[in-house]
């Protein structure tokens, strides 16, 4: 019985760090994908309105949901030339 508990404990100690590492990777990939999606919405807005949008304009006009942010909490910003970036805002 003690051997079984020892084996289970060792397996848990091996698995927990891997889960944590993969969770961070998933958040990073999710943020990259979200930035790409916002870039697409910026392009759609530019085609429709003939101007570079602000984040507020994208949410007001229905291109993005309210309070857009990456899954890891990073804030989305749009520069004057339409470049989309994610800045560390809490993730």
Looking at per-residue confidence, does 21 or 45 come out higher?
45
What sign results for the dihedral spanned by CA atoms 76, 32, 60, 91? negative
- Whether 91 shows a pLDDT value over 50: the answer reads no
The helix/strand/coil state of 29 is helix
Tokens describing residue 45: 């807005």
The helix/strand/coil state of 73 is coil
Looking at residue 23, its pLDDT comes to 77
Looking at residue 43, its pLDDT comes to 96
pTM over cut 0.85: no
Looking at residue 14, its pLDDT comes to 82
């Amino acid at each position: 019985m003690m051997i079984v508990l020892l084996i289970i404990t060792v397996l848990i100690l091996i698995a927990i760090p891997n889960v944590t590492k993969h969770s961070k990777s998933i958040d990073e990939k999710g943020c990259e994908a979200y930035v790409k999606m916002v870039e697409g919405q910026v392009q759609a807005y530019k085609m429709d309105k003939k101007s570079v949008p602000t984040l507020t304009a994208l949410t007001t006009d229905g291109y993005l949901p309210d309070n857009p942010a990456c899954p890891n909490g990073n804030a989305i910003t749009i520069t004057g030339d339409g470049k989309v970036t994610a800045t560390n805002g809490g993730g």
